[in-house]
Structure formats: structure tokens, C-alpha cells
Amino acid sequence: MTGSIELATTEPGWLAIPDELPQADRAKWVDECVDELQTAWGELWTPEAEGRVRQMLLAGLEERPDAEFVFDVWPVFRTVRVRVQIDMFASATLPDWQAEDFTVLAYEDAPVGPGTMCVRMHDLGTGDGVESTLVDWCAVFDDGERALVVLVESTLPHLLGQILPGLHGMISTLKVTLPDGAPFRAASPAAVLIDDDAIWMSLQLEAARRADDEASSAGDGGEER
């Protein structure tokens, strides 16, 4: 890691997954997370939801990727989550986002400097002929030597739409201190694509439509993503 990252969350349901939490401390951590989610859900909380949430929290500890910060974000009042990672990388190790079929847009007004927002939508077959459309999303802030990356693991478009306020809120608090004590500041991106295929706009419209559907059926059961 090439810098010390500081951040804060601005929305409920953003649960930080600790790294290598001892077994003796896991039950207490799960209880604290359950209490937070139960408060956020209010009357929509059920014993069935609690059992599923506890299972998913424990699985989240076991599956935690190697990143400086990892959040399991619970965006709606049902047992679904979206995973968000924040970490620093050497600039030379980053992929060519355009070559990987991402639409690359400007990300402005972040405290760490100008960046890019990379969005890609793709279909995932389930093996029974049914396909789901998933979205990959990341924000990249690069000074030419090192890069701060906020990555949302593949998820459903409407779930990304649900967490966007908290995602942008968290990014608005980001601060990185380099090993020499200097603040990290991203350089202006060399190139930013125009969204010719309207991928980002399509994502926003889909998120809005699905959010309306979610609101009309709040309280129904759901499955993990």
C-alpha cells in the first residue's frame, strides 16, 4: 500500500468488514452489525431476515478480499448486499479500462483531485437460459505513480443505483497521506471518453425504474447478491 487512506461513510448500511478479525471477536461484531441494520430497517426487520443477515455477515468475514477498506453495503430493506473496496495501487498495474470495455467518464469534485469513473455492463448466464445484467463500477484517482481506486464488485444495476448516494458521499470524504507525509493529489486524466453508447444514462434510467419497483414492494423477501 502506497498511502494512508482516511474516509467516512455518510449513509446507513455501510458495514466495514474488518481484516483478520479473531474468531473470539466475531460474534460481538456480528451482533453490533445486526443492531445497526435492525435500527435502519425498523418495522421491516424480521427474525427470518436476521438469520440470513447473520449468515451473510460471517461469510463476508471469510470472503474478505485483500484491500485497505472493504464494505458490505446493504442498500435496501432485504437481505442483499453490495461489496465496495478501497485501496491504493501502483499506476503501472492498473488495467486499460477502455480496452476492458469500460466507459470512462470524468469524476469531478473529489477532495483527492480529478479522477475517472469507469462503468461496464455485461450479461451473466445462470446455466438455465436466464441471463442477468450486471454492472461493474469504479472510480480511479491517479497521480501518475500511484492510484486510489474505489471498486464496486459486480452487482445488479438497481442495487448500484441504491448505493450511489452513499458511494459519492464516502468519496467526498477521502483523504490519502503519502509515506513522506505529503497529501495525495490526483492528476488530470489524460483522456476521458464521451458516453457515445449512453451506457451511464441507461444505467441511471434502469436504476430509477428498479428503485420504483423496490419501493412498491418493500417488505417482500429477497435473495442475496
Percent of the chain clearing pLDDT 90 (strictly above): 61
**Average pLDDT score over residue span 116-141:** 83
> Across the strands, what pairs with 137?
119, 152
The total of structural domains in the chain comes to 1
Kindly tell me if the per-residue pLDDT of 158 is higher than 90: no
Query: Whole-prediction pTM value?
Result: 0.84
Bridge partners of residue 118, in order along the sequence: 104, 138
Convert the pLDDT of each residue in 32-63 to its tens digit: 999 999 998 988 899 999 999 999 999 999 99
Judge whether 130 lies within some domain: yes
195: in domain: yes
Please report whether residue 70 resides in a domain: no
CA angle (221 as vertex; 158, 129 as ends), nearest 5: 60
Query: H or E element: which one contains 86?
Result: strand 82-90
- Whether residue 23 lies inside any domain: the answer is no
Which residues does 55 contact at the CB level (< 8 Å), separation at least 6?
A: none
Packing angle, helices 199-216 and 157-171, rounded to 10:
110
Predicted confidence at residue 218, as pLDDT, reads: 52
- Exposed e or buried b per residue across 191-220, where buried means at least 16 C-beta atoms within 10 angstroms of its C-beta: ebeeeeeebbebbeebbeebbeebeeeeee
Residue 76 in this model has a pLDDT that exceeds 80 = no
For residue 34, being part of any structural domain is answered with: no
Domain membership of residue 88 as a residue range: 83-216
pLDDT band at 201 (very low <50, low <70, confident <90, very high): low
